[in-house]
Every structure is written in structure tokens, then in C-alpha cells.
Chains A and B, each alone.
Chain A
Amino acid sequence: MSKQMELRLTGSGGQGLILGGIILAEAAIMDGKNAIQSQSYGPEARGGASKAEVIISNEEIDFPKVQTADLLLSLTQVACDKYVDLIGQEGLLLVDSSVTVPENTNAGEVIQIPILETASEVIGKPMVANIIAIGAINALLNIVSKESLEAAVLNRVPKGTEELNKSALAEGYKLGVRR
């Protein structure tokens, strides 16, 4: 990982992206790095466009918000359209296969992977899309150690869902392998 990594996870309220952000930040802390996680959301509890941000750094992090995203994840079209301009020129735009990538994006690289479909068809639980997503992100960008990420996932998910989430994480790693 370079000196500082700025991630923006976007989608619809209720998709668990804030939790995804928390897990990535906690894994970074387990690795001995500094991390800040924040979010912005509208007044609604479900739906709308939700944005979770994570900054991971080997140094002190002053400004707590993402300025130039190294990664923008979008699980929904609404979120992608709303946040796509906020990606850096060398940034990676990672979108779900259901999202049509807007033309003329600045992103340095665009990758489409079937996160939502894998959650509902392969794992059989749409709710694990966030865990699949962070597995894919970590496979692509190698931000935190694999063991810290798994430990962080297991610390945060409800009891009895550990195996389910481990499988989701593994599917995410598979989706994040560059072809």
C-alpha cells in the first residue's frame, strides 16, 4: 500500500456499506495503521444514496474526508451517477455489473464485477454484498492483510453468520482477481 489510501464506498442505504467501511478501517488498525471512517447519508434509513468513506494511512490523518478517491465502489446506478466525478485520475472505479458505467469518467481504471448477483445467487443472501465487496477491494488493492480483514469481519458480523460471511469474503477475493 502507498502512503495513504482513500476509499469511497457508495450504494443504497441499507446495503451495509458503512459497516463495510468500518470493517476495512478496523482491519487497518489491526495492521498497525491509522484509519478514519466517516459517512454521509440523507434523512432516510433505507434507500437514497449512501456514502461511506475510509482513509488508511501510515501517517497521522488530519482531514477526515476523502478528497481524491483511490477507489470508488458503486453498487447502484444512482450512487455511481452521483459520486462518479469524485474519483481521482489514477483511481479505480469498481462497479457492480448491474451498473452502467457513465461515459467520460476520469477514472484511471474501470472494473465491473457481479457483486450483487454473487451475493444472491452464489451465497444466497443479498445482505452479504458488502462483505463480498470488501473482499474484492482488498484483492484488487491489497490494502490490509488478509488475516486482519477476516478477523475484522468476524468481529462485526452477527453470531451464527461467521461461516456465511467467510464464504462471502472468499467469493469477494475470487471476484477481485484481475483477469
Chain B
Amino acid sequence: MKKNNIKLMQGNEACVEGALAAGMRFYGGYPITPSTEIAEGSAQKLPKVGGKFIQMEDEIAGMAATIGAALTGVKAMTATSGPGFSLKQENIGYAAIAEIPCVIVNVQRHGPSTGLPTSPSQGDVMQAKWGTHGDHPVIAISPSSVKEAFDLTVRCFNLAEKYRTPVILLLDEIVGHMREGIAIPDPSELEIIDRKKPSKDDKNYLAYKVEEGEIVPAMAGFGDGHRYHVTGLVHDESGFPTNSNEIADVLCTRIMKKVEDHVDDIVAYEEFHMEDAEVVVLSYGGTARSAKSAVKKAREKGLKVGMFRPITIWPFPEKQVKEFAKNVKGIIVAELNYGQLVLEVERVVKGSADIFHIGKVDGEIITPNEILSKIEEVI
């Protein structure tokens, strides 16, 4: 028996640890399988660090409370699964236009509707991008391991604070409920980003004015001494609503651009055996583990196969996929749905490589052998 600091932990538990390490001090939500451990863990641990946990009457209220708490200056999170993610959409749009940093965890389960509650899925990929109405910036990140559930939750908070936008952690039941070893990093090893606040005596503070050299407006917390207005309507720099088409254009373009112009800062991905790959398996989240295993098996057979794993689903690693697509025969997109991210791959690749899809909607996960068979078929 060796002494080590590795703990066996669920993805959902690691998400809570990551949130606390990032500085989460508020959780508002409504528990739902397979995300419930995130609510349980937050309820147990937040009071011990001076934070608050509130179980709201439903997911809509959970999202609203998360937004409200974030406005007071704390880092706030909610977690849910498909049915709850649907309910949260309206308020996610509110957070997008009002530029309220917060983290929404969606531990994806089978759907539509209540589907198979305990079975995994990756069916909310497009909903993460288009679930709320109107054009809005989206950052969605998908972990493949328990360690990543920790690291990427920290990253979600950092991106939310830096870009003042709701950030979605797209977990899936595979990673959320899987237990594996994780060494929780020492807090001193973590980069933690906090939102920029205005100085308390800034008499000219405008809540939605972007200062020179900044990406987003400085954000005063309610109770910090500044008065301002928050609304889901189009608003001017003071935060009050306006019908001006000009201001609408400036605001709506600015919130899109703040993410679009910083794609290189936001986008993350993993490449595995890509150097000489003729066929690439593109996969993400829990399914990427099957893809990696399949690629290892294919390499043992001497097949030139690689894996590309988007860690950031939105924004999609467009530049990278476009680039490698020029040099490969085929791309196999493996995802636990009827065909979602494959649409984005097709859009980006524009016919420069053949695209194949492996999807599943029976509630079972995609196995390495299923991917391997496809590799052997297309190579």
C-alpha cells in the first residue's frame, strides 16, 4: 500500500471541488438525475466556506437565483440535466444580454423530455448553442475525465468572469457518474480570474461602458455602492432600456464579438496520434474515451488513425478542424446523439474530407469496437 494523494471521485464530485476552488460561493438549483451529486456536494460544502446553497422551487428559479447572486458580486453556479436545461434557457439568454457571469452545468442524459433518466447522452450540444432565443455568445466546455471535470469547472468560472457571460459545462452521465482517481491540485497551482470591478468612488461609473483596453464593462456588485439598472431589454451604457437601433446594433455586436474575437484564448482541444493520421475520429466528452481506445486498437493494427477531441464545444475549434481536414481521407464523428456536432464539422470542412457519423440514441454508450469497425470500413 502506497501513500498518495489520489482520491477516487465521481465527475460530479470533482465538479463541485473545482467550483469551490474557483471561488463559487452560491449555488441555486433544483436537483435532477444525473446531476444530483453536484447539488448535494454544494449543499454540504458551501456553508463551510461562508457560501450559500438554495434549493429553489424549480430549475427556472434556480437559474434566476444564480443570476441574482452573481449580480451581488459572488461567483454562482447551477447544475441540472436535459429537462432542467430546457427550463433554464430563457434566463440563460437574460444572463447573456445583461452580461452576468455564471456557470451552468448540464450533466446530459437521454432525451428528449424525461427520456431515460439514468442513461447517458450528448444530445444537448446544439441546445447549448441555440437553446435560448436571439443571437448570443456561447461558451460550452465538455470534460472527458474526472480530473477534467475539476479543471474545466475552474476554467468555466474563469471564462465567465473574464468575458462576463454565462458559461456551460457540458458534462455527460458517463463522466458525471464515473469514479476514477484524481489528485486535487493545491489552490496555489490554480489560475483564478475574478471579474473587474469599478472603484468605489468612481462617480462616472457606467455599468455597461467598456473602458479603453478592456474586453467587458467593469461590474459593480449590488451593495457595493453603485446604482445601476439591469434588464433583458436592449440597454445603453447606463443599463437603462432603449429602442435605439444604433445602440441595439452596438450592444448585440459587442456581446458576440467579445467571444468571437478571443476564440484563440477560449478554444481548447486534445490531439492524439494526429501527426500522420489518414482517418481522424472526432469525439468529445465521455465518448472520446471510447474513441481514444479505438484509435489505440487501430494503431496496434498498423492503421494510421488519430483522434481530435474538442474540449471547447462552443466556440467550435473551427480553425484546427479546417486545417487537419485538408490532410485526411475521412473524419468519423462519434457522439452520443442522432447527429449534432457532425453538422458543425460538415460546415467547417466544406467537403475537403469525407465525413462519417457514429451516433446512438438507445441509452447505451458507444463502444471502442463500434468505432474500430467504422475505422476499418472507411480507411
Interface residues of A (CB under 8 A from B): 22, 25-26, 29-32, 34-43, 61-65, 67, 145, 147-148, 151
Contact = CB atoms under 8 A, between A and B. Distances in A.
A65 B365 contact: yes
15 contacts: A22-B8, A25-B8, A35-B180, A36-B178, A36-B179, A37-B8, A38-B178, A40-B118, A42-B118, A43-B117, A62-B289, A62-B290, A62-B296, A63-B293, A67-B368
Given A36-B179, A37-B179, A40-B118, A63 B367 contact: yes
Contacts of A43: 117-118
A145 B174 CA distance: 28
B1 A147 contact: yes
Contacts, number: 65
Contact of A32 (B4, B8, B178, B286): B4
B292 interface: yes
Question: Max chain B CB contacts within 10 Å: which of A34, A39, A63, A67?
Answer: A63
Contact of A25 (B179, B365, B369): B179
Given A29-B8, A62-B293, A147-B1, A67 B367 contact: yes
B178 A41 contact: no
Contacts of B292: 62
B136 interface: no
B49 interface: no
Nearest to A37: B179
B357 interface: no
A26 B10 CA distance: 12
B177 interface: yes
B181 interface: yes
B4 to A, nearest CB: 7
Contacts of A38: 174, 177-179
Interface string B287-299: 0011011001000
Contact of B178 (A26, A64, A147): A64
Determine the main DSSP class of A at the interface with B: mixed
B365 A29 contact: no
B174 A31 contact: no
Given A26-B8, A43-B118, A67-B367, A31 B179 contact: no
Nearest to B292: A62
Contacts of B200: none
B179 A22 contact: yes
Interface string B230-266: 0000000000000000000000000000000000000
A46 B177 CA distance: 19
The listed residue with most A CB atoms (<10 A of its CB), out of B117, B178, B286, B290, is B178
Contacts of A147: 1
Interface string B1-42: 110101110000000000000000000000000000000000
Contacts of B8: 22, 25-26, 29, 35, 37
B293 A39 contact: no
A30 B368 CA distance: 28
A61 B181 CA distance: 11
Nearest to B6: A29
A31 B181 contact: no
Contacts of A63: 289-290, 293, 367-368
Nearest to A62: B293
Interface centre among B8, B174, B177 (most CB of A within 10 A): B8
Contacts of B181: 29, 34-35
